[in-house]
Amino acid sequence: MSATKEATSPSKPASIAPGLQSLRPAFQSFIRIECGLSPNTLEAYDRDLRDLLTDMTRRGRVTASDIQPRDLTEHLGTLHRDQSLAPASIVRHLATIKVFFRWLAATHRIDGVANPADYLDRPTRWKKLPGVLTPRQVKLLLAAPQPDADPEPSHNPLYLRDRALLELLYSSGLRASEVCTVSLRDLHPTLGVVIVTGKGGKQRIVPIGKPAQHAVREYLDLCRPRLARSIDGADLSLNRLLLSRTGRPLERVAIWQLVKKNALKAGLKSVHPHMLRHSFATHLLQGGADLRVVQELLGHADIATTQVYTHVDSSRLRDAQKKFHPRP
């Protein structure tokens, strides 16, 4: 009877050794202040670090100096084998581990010469090629937001907001976290550009295509004024461009939901905001854009990150080979 109760009772939350747990607040302060990471990245780093320190505690490691290279290798293995994490997520865990142990060494919490994370190689072969929509699929998706069947659709023209959102994601290659923070003052319609604040607070200027400009203009004229709200004189919109039904800024999760909803309307499955960013980059390269230009538009710090799109566009390489090689 007792065995049955023990098997069915909820498991206790995994604990972290005090000597390891005490490192988390100081490391969080370091990456927030010194590295200038975004709130989403800070949350991801802390989540990865919690997983690591919990696993190290299970292995009997009670201080950072106790952790050995094999512990870290086996930890990454469990992420793939037991948690079935995607390759990109494991690479992010690896980045967290490397930054964490560099910080430990720099602050003399461990011996810098014996840094166990130095033995870990970046598994570039794990990189997964991004999913990309065809131009026809993009056209279907962008046309999906339509007025409701309401006899007076002008009372709730949210489809104009959805259309502006989708156009911005594809026209300018914005991340979901970037498009939800675009403010009214970031838009420059005369120049046809938007100022985007990306990872690490870095800003870049990105052109907006004419269809996107038209969609944003319609939204600003006919929809946003109906959504804007204030309480006791305080503007709930925080001057953001894209608003929810309640007049507050659209959040990242809501943007994912809106993209998914309109994709289903268009008869498309497994579409997410980042897929529009991937499509933006791939279609630019297919049209002959320079890789360095695409890197700048996407806000990538390292061109190696942008080079993944040259693999996606393998058809263009095959066509070039057939056209110019003397023996196709």
Q: What is the pLDDT of residues 123-171, one digit of tens each?
A: 554 555 578 899 999 999 999 999 876 555 456 689 999 999 999 999 9
Contact by Cβ (8 Å): 141, 101: no
pLDDT over 90, % of the chain: 56
Paired with 194 in beta bridges are 187, 206
Which pair of structure tokens corresponds to residue 142?
Answer: 């962008």
Residue 1, Cα to own-chain centre: how many angstroms? 48
- Is 219 a known active-site residue? no
Q: Which alpha helices (H) appear in 151-244, and where do they start and end?
A: 158-172, 176-179, 210-222, 224-227
AA letter at 166: L
Q: Among residues 61, 93, 163, 175, which one is catalytic?
A: 175
Higher local confidence (pLDDT), 283 or 232 = 283
Q: Are strands 203-207 and 234-235 parallel, antiparallel or unpaired?
A: unpaired
Vertex 253, ends 252 and 254: CA angle to 5°?
90
Please tell me which residue in 93, 163, 240, 277 is annotated as part of the active site: 277
Which candidate in 199, 214, 217, 260 is catalytic? 199
Q: What is the number of other CB atoms lying within 10 angstroms of the CB of residue 314?
A: 10
Per-residue pLDDT, averaged over 189-210, amounts to 90
115-127 average pLDDT score = 71
pTM exceeds 0.85: no
| Annotated catalytic residue 202 | no
Does residue 224 carry a catalytic annotation?
no
* 155 labelled catalytic: no
Res. 38: pLDDT tops 50: yes
Burial class (CB in 10 A: 0-12, 13-18, 19+), 126: middle
| pLDDT, average across residues 64-81 | 90
Which SS3 state, helix, strand or coil, does residue 307 take? Answer: coil
- pLDDT per residue over 50-61, tens digit each? 999 999 999 999
Q: What does residue 160 show for φ and ψ, rounded to 5 degrees?
A: -70, -35
Superfamily classification of domain 135-320: Intergrase catalytic core (1.10.443.10)
- The residues spanned by each domain of the chain are 14-123, 135-320
pLDDT for 10 beyond 60: no
Q: Please give the structure tokens belonging to residue 62.
A: 């009670």
Q: What are phi and psi of 203, to 5 degrees?
A: -105, 150
Q: Which of residues 1 and 257 earns the better pLDDT score?
A: 257
Distance CA 144, CA 155 (A): 19
Q: Which residue has the higher pLDDT, 177 or 304?
A: 177
240 is catalytic: no
3-class DSSP assignment, residue 205:
strand
Q: Report the C-alpha dihedral over residues 279, 283, 286, 290, rounded to 10 degrees.
A: -100
Say whether 135-320 and 14-123 share the same fold. Answer: no
Looking at residue 13, what is its pLDDT? 47
If you average pLDDT over residues 56-81, what whole number do you get? 91
Q: Is residue 199 flagged as an active site residue? A: yes
Give me the catalytic one of 32, 50, 265, 274. Answer: 274
Q: Which of 45, 170, 219, 309 is catalytic?
A: 309
Q: State yes or no: pLDDT of 319 exceeds 80.
A: no
CATH code for the part of the protein at 14-123: 1.10.150.130
